[in-house]
Structure 1
Amino acid sequence: MSFRSASLLALCLVSLAGCDQSQPGEPVIRTDISGEKGVEIASAGEEKPAPSPSPTPTPSETANPEDSACEPVRFEDVVFTHCVADPAEHRVRMVLGSPPYRSLAKLSAARGEDAPRVAFAMNAGMYDGEGKPIGYYVENRERLQELNRNEGSGNFHLKPNGVFYGTGGTWRIKTTEDFYSTVGDRPDFGTQSGPMLVIDGSIHPRISEDGPSKRIRNGVGVDKDGKAHFAITARPVSFGQFARFFRDVAGTPNALYLDGSVSSLWDPARGRMDTRADLGPLVVVEAKE
């Protein structure tokens, strides 16, 4: 083979390799306050393909995964990022911003130098087109949105939905009706979302084992020791698989769906900052220094 022929062959191989590389998905602008359409319990209609997860930057040189409260866990052939907040080590806060931050990057930029170290943060609850919560929302003991017991369509209204809330180091998840009937004092923080994933150890009765709706999802559960378990998936999963993770892996008797498709995580210790800019309420887990 001549030198010229060999060079042309090498150039062709390089071009083919470049075409084979996957490109990051484009962020999806969220305008539907009711959440994704066609939840897996519904049988009619087809969904649009689930978007790819938002790209994340390469971990920085200052990242120290050993200090992270999050770790990858493979469950039913899908990688979940599992983050645990321990009342002995962490505080939980809800943060919205005025106007709403809409992204984890803006939340990070708004924090002062003296702010407590962030263990991790995540989007947490359904919202309207402006990023404002459509359900119960309490930040620093100030209630910005009342409990929403209305009927409607979409995931938020798939009853029972629920509330993640807490005061000090006591964190709980209750169905909306249970919260309405039993909680009289305003908590330090609270966010309402839906549907519930796990209720008293059993998966939500209207969630099928492995329905057709597949999304990148995130949620939260509280175990019997009072620790809060947050999870976000690396690729689209069904509601059923997501609920089983909280029941079987996280071991949380009660767990709440936070959102899908826009699900995002900030894990400073691992250098992860998901880049979506269409978020609503945010939950921040801070280290007790």
Structure 2
Amino acid sequence: MDFLTLLNAAPLLLGLVKAALPQALASTMAFSQWFVSLPPCRGFAFEATSYLVCEVDPKLYSIELFWKDPAGKPFQSLHNLDAAQRAAGRTMLFAVNAGMYHPDLRPVGLYVERGREMAGVKTGSGSGNFSLQPNGIFYISGGKAAVQATRDFVRNRPSTNYATQSGPMLVVDGQLHPKFQSDGTSRKTRDGVGVRKDGVAVFAISNGTVNFHAFARLFRDALGCDNALFLDGTISSLFAPGIGRNDDYWNLGPMIGVFRKRR
């Protein structure tokens, strides 16, 4: 093509570029929106069980607890929580149920939301998994995540922005809970949270049924968490629409939601 022909064709080429530009920009924006909505989660296999594991660095992500909406009514489901956050202009990357609760959806033990203690710590004995001592507390303090056995938390009593108590502890200072048995016959879908030495909070939910001993080994031996806490079983739920995970259990109590921090 000689120079004159190229010069004559320039307006047409420019028009084609201009016509294609909006679509290219729209595609780029759509990809960007899709990318930032992806949760930090991945499939993970350990021994004979598959899991979904979400690794959350508090420096990059905001970990928050939710129980009731502004009208004072429990959210009840992860879908309701997601809808409320979208209405507020927020993109929740994923959410999980955050511990045990009474039939009226009140937290069984300590529950702190945005620095406000809404349910007190429970140190007495009782029945069920919650009271299988030691139990523990997952909390956010000064932008850092931590899991501690309840006895240690009460002794130190750190200031917390968010906190939820559950039980039993899965791993305590690098040791499996002393009452777990490797051949335990109680097998359920389970979810829990641990914290690595680098401060990353690790959430895991089993895709199949698993006993406590195997679930605790997952956190200690495969995920590198010296301290980890069982959140719940059977109704264990994870909502992560960015990867097509949409568990839809209703009448849930406290929940954990994770968001990307704005820079």
Query: Is the pair's TM-score, using the shorter chain for normalization, greater than 0.5?
Result: yes
Residue number among 194, 208, 213 corresponding to 1:221 in the alignment: 194
What's the TM-score, normalizing by structure 1? 0.75
What percent identity do the matched residue pairs reach? Answer: 41
Q: Which moved more, 1:165-174 or 1:279-288?
A: 165-174
1:117 aligned onto 2:91: yes
1:68 aligned onto 2:30: no
Offset, 1:219: 0.1
Q: Pick the structure with more helix per residue.
A: 2
Offset, 1:120: 1.2
Residue number among 241, 249, 253 corresponding to 1:276 in the alignment: 249
Offset, 1:72: 0.5
Question: 2:218 aligns to what?
Answer: 245
Instruction: Render the CA deviation track for 1:91-135: whole Å, top value 9, x for unaligned.
Output: 111000132112111111222444432221100111000111010
Residue number among 176, 179, 183 corresponding to 2:157 in the alignment: 183
1:96-115 correspondence runs (5 A): 96-97=67-68, 98-115=72-89
Seen in structure 2, the aligned counterparts of structure 1 residues 105 and 206 have a Cα distance that, compared at 3 Å, is same
Seen in structure 2, the aligned counterparts of structure 1 residues 256 and 205 have a Cα distance that, compared at 3 Å, is same
Residue number among 149, 156, 162 corresponding to 2:136 in the alignment: 162
Question: 1:147 aligns to what?
Answer: 121
Offset, 1:184: 4.5
Identify unmatched segments of 5+ residues in structure 2: 1-32
1:256 aligned onto 2:223: no
Q: Is the 8 A contact 2:130 2:168 kept in 1?
A: yes
Structure-2 separation of matches of 1:272 and 1:105? 11
Q: Is the 8 A contact 1:100 1:130 kept in 2?
A: no
Structure-2 separation of matches of 1:146 and 1:88? 28
Q: Pick the structure with more strand per residue.
A: 2
Question: 1:202 aligns to what?
Answer: 175
Identify unmatched segments of 5+ residues in structure 1: 1-61
Letter in 2 for 1:119: L
The structure number with the bigger radius of gyration is 2
Question: 2:62 aligns to what?
Answer: 91
Q: Is the 8 A contact 2:141 2:158 kept in 1?
A: no
Structure-1 separation of matches of 2:142 and 2:88? 20
Q: Describe the SS at the equivalent of 2:225.
A: coil
Q: Is the 8 A contact 1:210 1:241 kept in 2?
A: no
Q: Is the 8 A contact 2:139 2:146 kept in 1?
A: yes
Q: Is the 8 A contact 2:115 2:161 kept in 1?
A: yes
Structure-1 separation of matches of 2:113 and 2:89? 16
Letter in 1 for 2:247: D
Q: Describe the SS at the equivalent of 1:198.
A: strand
Seen in structure 2, the aligned counterparts of structure 1 residues 99 and 216 have a Cα distance that, compared at 3 Å, is same
Instruction: Render the CA deviation track for 1:232-266: whole Å, top value 9, x for unaligned.
Output: 00011000110010001110000000000000001
Residue number among 127, 130, 136 corresponding to 2:110 in the alignment: 136
Question: Which stretches of structure 1, 4 residues or longer, exceed 2 Å deviation after superposition?
Answer: 62-68, 112-117
Q: Describe the SS at the equivalent of 2:199.
A: coil
